[in-house]
Structure 1
Amino acid sequence: MSFTWSLASSLATTEQTRIQSTETSTLNTNITTLVTEILTTPSDIYDPRLTRPFAIICLFIGSIGNSLSFIVFTQKQLRTHSTFRYLAYLSIVDLIVIYLGLGHLILRDYFHLDIRERSLFLCKFHTFLTYATTHLSSWILTIVSIDRAIACTVIRLNKRFCRPKSADRIFVAMCIVIALINSHILFFMGSKQTVVRSISNNVSLHQQVIVCTHNTSEVYFHFFEKRYSIIDLFSYVLIPFLIMTVCAGIIAYRLFFSLSKTQLTNASKKKTRKGTRRAKQISYMLLILNLVFVILLAPIVVGQVFQELNQEHHYRLYNSITLVLSYSNHALNFVLYGIASPQFRLTLRQLLGLGNTNTIQRRFQTFGFFTSTGL
C-alpha cells in the first residue's frame, strides 16, 4: 500500500514536471513567434484589401501617364513655353511620388519588405523625399496658375516671369525652399532600438531594429504630430488651393470681361472670339482642377491633424480611402492637365504618327496665340 502510494506520487510528480516543462516551452515559443511577428509584420494603419489592388493599378497607370506627359511636354513646340515647362517638371515629380509611395506600399504588402526599416538612412531619406515631393507637386500646380494669371494680365512682368529660363530658376528655388522646410526629418526621424527575442529556455537574442517613427523624443513627437501637421495642411493643400482659386478668378475676369470690352477691329474680333471661347473652356477646367485638387488631397492632411496621437490603426478604412484619393491625384494629373490641352493632344498625335502633318501644323498656329494664357 505504501509502495503503491509512493509510486503513484512519483508518477504524479513526473507528469506535473512534464506539463510544466511543456507549458514553459510553449510559452517561449509563443513569445518568440510574437516578437517575430512584431518585427516582420508591416504597419496596420491601412486596409490591404483596398490598398493592394489600388497600388498595382495606380502605379501602372501613373507610370504610363506621367512618362507620356513628360515626353509630350518636352517636345520642341511646347518646351519653349513656361507653362508646359512646369508641367514637364510636374510629370517627373508625380512619377517620383507614386514610386516612393505606391512602390513602398507594394513591397510592404506583397513581400513584407519595409525599406524604411532596412537602415536608419533609408528611413530618414525615404520619409524626407515622400514629404518633399508631394509638397513640390502641389506648388508646381500653384506656379502654373500664377504663370497663367500673369501671362494674361501683367504684360511687363510676363516678359520676365513667363519664360522657360525663369521656369527653370523658379523650379530650382522651390526645390531648395521645400527641402529646407522638411529638413528636420533628416535629423530627427527614426531610431535604433534593441529588441529581445527568446530562442529557448534561458537563451535570448538581442537584435537591433530600425523603428521609423517620429516618436524619437517627446519634443519632436509633439512637434511632428501637431505643429508640423498644421504646416503640412497649409503648405500642401490650403495655401496652394487659395492661390489657385485667386489666379483662376483673375484669368476668368480677364477672359470673360476684359477682352469682351476691348475695342478691336472686326478681323481681330473674329480671331479673338475663337481663341477666347477656347480660353474660357480652359478657365472652367482650371476651376475644376482646383476643386479636384482640394477634394482629393484635403482628407489625408485633415486626418493627420484630427486623428488621436499614435492611434492611426483605429482609422484603417479612412486612412485607406485618403491614400487612394491622394495618389490618384498624382497618378491622374496627366488626364486633367494633358488631355484638356489642345496642344497636348496635337503633339501626342504627332508623336504617334496619327493625322496629317500639315493639318497638325495649322492647328498649332491656331492655338499658338493663346499658348501663354492657358493650356
Structure 2
Amino acid sequence: MDSILKTATTMPISISTTTSLTTTDLLSTDIYDPRITRPFALICLFIGSIGNSLSFIVFSQKQLRAYSTFRYLAYLSIVDLLVLYLGLGHLILHDYFLFDIREHNLFFCKFHTFLTYVTTHLSSWILTMVSIDRAIACTIVHLRKRFSSPKSADRIFIAMCLIISLVNSHILFFMGFKEREILSSNSNVSSYKDIIVCTHNTSTAYFQFFEKPYNIIDLFSYVLIPFLIMSICAGIISYRLFFSLNNATIKILANGKTRRGTRRAKQISYMLFILNIVFILLLAPIALGQIFEDLNQEYRYRLFNSITLSLSYSNHALNFILYGVASPQFRLTLRQLLGIVNNDPSQRRRYTLGLYTSTRL
C-alpha cells in the first residue's frame, strides 16, 4: 500500500518535484505530526517487542506448537515483530537520530521497502489462514487431518512467503535511484556526491504502475480480501459451533471430555473473532483513506496520517493483549512459563484434556 504505513519515504508530491525531495524533507515536514508519532513509535515498539516475543515463546511451547492454529499464531508473532522494527524502527531512527536507512545506499532503499510490503501483507494473510484453518477444522472432517496439521501450517506459511515475495519483487528491481549532486566545480576539478532518492518515480511507466494497478493490488491484498475471507470464515465458525448442535451432538456432549473440548474450541473461536474485529477496526481508516484520499495531496493531512499510522502499527503490537484477554490456553501457558500457576499434574492434565479434544486445532 503506497501509504503512510509502508512507503512514506516514497510518496510523491508531484511527478515533477519527487526527484528533488529527500526522505528527510518528506518525513519531518509533510507526512506526520511528530508530536504524535515520536512518542507513539517508542511506546508501541516497546510494547510490541515484549508482547510479540512472549507470544512467540508461548505458542512455541510443546503443548501448543503441535496444533496448526497456534503454529500460525507463532509465525504471526515473528512477522508482526518484523513489521514493527522495519516501520517504527525506521521512524525512530529518522526522528530521533536523523538517520534514514533507505538513504544509506540503493540496496537498503530497495530491500527495506520490499521487506516492509512483504511483512505487512504476510501478517494479514497469516491471520486470514488462522480463520480458514479454524473454519475447516470445524466443518470439513475429511480435510481436517490433512489441512489442520502442523506440517501443513509450515508448508502453507512457506508458500505464502514465496508468493507474497514474488508479488512484491518488482520493488527490488525498480524502486529508487541514484542522483549525482555537484558540490563544487572549477576549470580543473569537480567534486560531487551520490544521493539516494528512494521513490517509485524512477520512470513514467513504473510510477503509473505503482500509483494505479499496484496500489489497488496492495489495498486488496493487505485489507479488503483478508477482511472478506475472515468475515466468511467467522460466519461458518459461528454457525458450526453455536447454532448447529443437533440432538445427536448434544447427546455426544454428555461425555465430559468432548464437552470440555467443544468449550475450548469455542474459546479459541472467541479469540479469533476478537482478533478479526480489531484487525478490521484498526486498518479500516487507512483503507478508507487509500480509497477516498488523493494520494498526491496526502502531505496535507498530517494529523490524519499520524492517527492512521498509529492505528495500523497498533494492529501489529496489541495481539499479545488480545490473546491474554480472549484465550485461557494462552494465559495458562504464560503463567506456567512465569512460574505463577498451580503445578498440580492432575489439574494440568484435566485442563489439557478439555483443551484439545473434540475439535482439531
What TM-score does the superposition give when structure 2 sets the normalisation length?
Answer: 0.86
Q: Classify 1:306/1:223 alpha carbon distance in 2 versus 1 (closer, same or farther; 3 Å).
A: farther
5 Å matches for 1:1-375? 41=25, 43=27, 44=29, 45-197=31-183, 206-265=192-251, 268=254, 272-358=258-344, 359-369=347-357, 372-373=360-361
Greater relative contact order, per chain length (Cα 8 Å cut-off, separation 6+): 2
TM-superposed CA distance for 1:362, in Å, is: 2.3
Could you say if the C-alpha distance between residues 196 and 310 of structure 1 is closer, same or farther in structure 2, counting changes exceeding 3 Å? farther
Residues 189-215 of structure 1, C-alpha deviation per residue, up to 9 Å, x if partnerless? 101112345799xx9853320010111
RMSD, aligned CA: 2.5
Amino acid at match of 1:290: N
User: After alignment, is 37-46 or 90-99 more displaced?
Assistant: 37-46
Q: What amino acid maps onto 1:366 in structure 2?
A: G
* Equivalence for 1:22: none
- Does the Cα contact within 8 Å between 2:33 and 2:303 map onto a contact in 1? yes
Instruction: Quote the Cα distance in structure 2 between the aligned partners of 1:267 and 1:319.
Output: 51
Give unpaired runs (5+ residues) of structure 2. 1-19
For the pair shown, which has the larger CA radius of gyration, 1 or 2?
1
Displacement of 1:360 in angstroms is: 2.9
8 Å Cα contact 2:257-2:357 kept in structure 1 = no
Displacement of 1:55 after TM fit?
A: 0.4
Q: Note if contact 2:261-2:356 (Cα within 8 Å) is conserved in structure 1.
A: no
- Alignment deviations for residues 14-57 of structure 1 (CA, whole Å, 9 cap, x no partner): xxxxxxxxxxxxxxxxxxxxxx9968545231111100000000
Cα pair distance change 1:307/1:62, threshold 3 Å: same
Equivalent residue, structure 1, for 2:8: none
Unaligned runs of 5+ in 1: 1-35
Distance, in Å, in 1 between the alignment partners of 2:253 and 2:34 is: 61
Deviation, 1:337, is 3.3
Cα pair 2:180 2:193 within 8 Å, conserved:
yes
| 1:266 positional shift | 7.0
Between 1:97-106 and 1:224-233, the stretch displaced more is 224-233
Contact kept? 1:67, 1:92, Cα under 8 Å: yes
Against the structure 1 CA distance between its residues 196 and 309, is the aligned structure 2 distance closer, same or farther, given a 3 Å change threshold? farther
How many Å separate the matches in 1 of 2:74 and 2:179? 42
Scaled by the length of structure 1, the TM-score of the pair is 0.83
Does the Cα contact within 8 Å between 1:191 and 1:212 map onto a contact in 2? Answer: yes
Separation of aligned partners in 2, 1:113 and 1:158: 49
Contact preservation (8 Å) 1:297, 1:326: yes
CA distance in 2, matches of 1:261, 1:180: 49
Change (3 A) 1:342 1:38: closer
The residue type paired with residue 239 of structure 1 is I
Q: Which moved more, 1:210-219 or 1:250-259?
A: 250-259
Q: 1:309 to 1:331 in 2, by over 3 A?
A: closer
Cα distance, 1:295–1:64 mapped onto 2, change above 3 Å: same
What is the aligned residue count?
336
Q: For the residues of structure 2 that align with 1:37 and 1:311, how far apart are their CA atoms?
A: 15
- One-letter amino acid of the structure 2 residue matched with residue 369 of structure 1: T
